[in-house]
Amino acid sequence: MEESFYDQVFELVRLIPEGRVTSYGAIARSLGSGGSARMVGYAMSNAGLSHPPVPAHRVVNSTGLLTGKFHFSPPEQMEELLQAEGVIVVDNKIKNFKVVFWDPMLEL
């Protein structure tokens, strides 16, 4: 029950407001791990197993590209959810990424 890195990532991702997105690196940094951005993404693999559903669709890489969209049940669901929240996604990439970007450290 030790809050491993994964759990910390889950909680932080859950704090992401709707219509906003963040990057794996930003999450990792806010957790103090800095370069463990890959861990954040890896944790997302268990996100679907986490009890309170983790809005993994609000987490993208630094380029705003929906890298993990292929990991969703229907890969297209990621875009659906994002656009449903007002996030513009074009060609698996967030349009106004800098606008919808949500920095954990900045808000927290």
Nearer to DNA, 5 or 102 (CB): 5
For 32: left if phi > 0, alpha if psi spans -120 to 50, otherwise beta; the answer is: left
The C-alpha atoms of residue 87 and residue 95 are separated, in whole angstroms, by 8
- Which residue type, as a one-letter code, is found at position 29? R
Element (H or E) spanning 94, and its range? strand 93-94
CB of 38 to DNA, least distance (A): 4
The C-alpha atoms of residue 60 and residue 56 are separated, in whole angstroms, by 8
CB of 75 to DNA, least distance (A): 10
Considering the rule CB under 7 A, would residue 6 count as an interface residue with DNA? yes
Binding residues for DNA restricted to 10-69, rule: CB under 7 A: 23-26, 33-42, 44-45, 47-48, 56-57, 59, 61-63, 67-69
Q: Which positions lie near DNA, rule CB under 7 A?
A: 4-6, 23-26, 33-42, 44-45, 47-48, 56-57, 59, 61-63, 67-69, 71-72, 78
